[in-house]
Amino acid sequence: MTESNVSIAEIAIQCPTTFQGTKGTLFGIAFTALIAAQAFFALVYGALGITGSTLFTGLFFLSCELCMLCLGNRRGVILAVPDLLFVVLVASIAGSLLMNGNTAPIKEWLLLLGSLTAYICGRLAKPADIELIRTAYIWVVAPILAIGTVVIAYALFSQWDDPHGKPIVLGFDAVATYFVLLMGFLIIAVASYPTTIRNSVIVSLLTFFPIVIFAASMVRLTLATIPITLLVVTIFKPKKQRLHAFILLISVTGAVAVGLLMRANTTAVLLTYAAEGSRPTDEKAEQKRVERRSVVATEYKMVAPSCELDVNSSNSIAIRRALLRDAFYLVPRSGILGFGFTGFMQLSCVRWHEVHNTFLQAIIELGWLGGAALIALVLVIALPLVKPAFRGESARLVLCWTTYTAIVSVAHGDLARSFMFFSVLGLAASLASLHSSMWSIGDDVHA
């Protein structure tokens, strides 16, 4: 065989592999764009001086998911137990809708549809492409985080002594939370793979200032999930690599402490709120609460605990406590199909607040069936990855991403805005199918 023929043969062999690698990278970029959209659009819309564009944002989400569906491994999926649980979850939504009628605005339904579709998109990921997805995420999100940190820092220092904890960034109050979510995802992506002490120190230095800024911005529960998940990463790392993950854990914890100490006065106010819980509100707020209590009691024949409380609307901790009291009151009363999607907001006297816990929301609004399906979905996906996570980087990464998003969903979740949560569940389900002989219920159809 001539040299030219050998070269042509080598190219012919390498082309499919290169194409598959390119598909995996593009899938990773679409995956990243989907879960980073909130942070990205907060910067874009804020810079343009507008509150947002429902049409443009919706088209962006749709485009990301269509790209993932087109680039995914559509013909190689193994029907598995988590997929049946996902179907049960969707069926519970349909059943709740039929029983309770339309209980949510069309925008919320579209967001919920997008979140559920994210599971299917993640499910089509090829397990072999996990590392490509990780790399794409790191390279795409790192510059977005750098820009976001500067913007948030400017807003923070200009509002340093303002009474509210979180700074208003470009007209939005949740921007810091969006960026904390991305930062946690990024740190886990780095920590889950083998590295050196030198690289761990470099990453710690690069992430220290952003985390200080986020902590000073009073992003509490979401930020707390990062060191918790890093502890999980440390446990699953090989013994020789645990020190590297531990360096990141210490760095993140130290940065959080520095950020809180920098705004000691604001931190002290929040600690006071934690001790106070609920306290009397002004006369106008009290009148609204009484009116709301009357509406809920008349329409739903029950009175949630928050309807008997004077919740300080400036105290986010008191609001959380009131929401949880309502949630635990409603869980045993939700029945098989629940009170309907967004029904919690109709029953609670803490107006315009979801329960901030995806699992409790599912139980209350979709019923015991939907809540059980969602909880079982997470467990059935995560458990087969535990043993492989001690040995393989991809399994460790996906398991820790799943842990991270699940904890975030407990602390700050909303079914309609769970693109990150469901896309990671789909990704984990794709990988878990390789690690459990009892997991599959169908035949493997290779692409």
pLDDT at res. 435: 67
pLDDT at res. 351: 77
pLDDT at res. 317: 79
Domain region containing 107: 3-274+358-432
Secondary structure (H, E, C), 18-50: HHHHHHHHHHHHHHHHHHHHHHHHHHHHHHHCC
- The closest of 186, 184, 162, 188 to 173, measured between CA atoms, is 162
Decide if 50 is inside a domain. Answer: yes
pLDDT at res. 291: 62
pLDDT at res. 77: 75
The separation between CA 139 and the C-alpha centre of its own chain, rounded to angstroms, equals 19
Decide if 292 is inside a domain. Answer: no
pLDDT at res. 80: 86
Residue type, 359: F
Cβ-based neighbour number of residue 61 at 10 Å: 21
DSSP state of 80: B
CA dist 120 and 118 (Å) reads: 5
CA dist 252 and 245 (Å) reads: 11
Around 80, how many Cα atoms within 13 Å sit in the side-chain half-sphere? 27
CA dist 211 and 153 (Å) reads: 11
pLDDT at res. 176: 92
User: What are 172's strand-pairing partners?
Assistant: 169
Around 427, how many Cα atoms within 13 Å sit in the side-chain half-sphere? 32
Structure tokens at 400: 């820790």
pLDDT at res. 174: 87
Cβ-based neighbour number of residue 158 at 10 Å: 10
User: What are 169's strand-pairing partners?
Assistant: 172
Q: What is the largest CA-CA distance in the chain?
A: 92
pLDDT at res. 293: 63
pLDDT at res. 112: 97
Mean pLDDT by 10 residues, the chain (447 residues): 40 40 90 95 90 90 96 81 95 97 94 97 92 95 96 91 80 90 96 91 94 91 92 93 92 94 78 59 58 64 79 77 92 95 89 89 97 97 93 94 96 93 96 67 45
Q: Is 143 helix (H, G, I), strand (E, B) or coil?
A: helix
Cβ-based neighbour number of residue 76 at 10 Å: 15
Decide if 447 is inside a domain. Answer: no
CA dist 209 and 125 (Å) reads: 34
pTM: 0.89
pLDDT at res. 16: 40
**Residues 6 or more apart in contact with residue 29 via CB below 8 angstroms:** 136, 140
φ, ψ (nearest 5 deg) of residue 375: -65, -45
Decide if 79 is inside a domain. Answer: yes
Structure tokens at 57: 């944002």
Decide if 330 is inside a domain. Answer: no
- The closest of 445, 397, 405, 429 to 132, measured between CA atoms, is 397
Q: Is 342 helix (H, G, I), strand (E, B) or coil?
A: coil
Q: Report, in angstroms and rounded to the nearest whole number, the Rg of the chain calculated over CA atoms.
A: 23
Q: How many domains does the chain have?
A: 1
Decide if 324 is inside a domain. Answer: no
Structure tokens at 111: 């967001």
pLDDT at res. 446: 38
CA dist 46 and 188 (Å) reads: 28
The Cα-based distances of 129 to 24, 246, 277, 373 in angstroms read 5, 27, 47, 28
CA dist 393 and 239 (Å) reads: 14
Decide if 285 is inside a domain. Answer: no
Decide if 219 is inside a domain. Answer: yes
pLDDT at res. 439: 55
CA dist 102 and 114 (Å) reads: 18
pLDDT at res. 5: 42
CA dist 320 and 221 (Å) reads: 11
CA dist 414 and 356 (Å) reads: 6
pLDDT at res. 93: 98
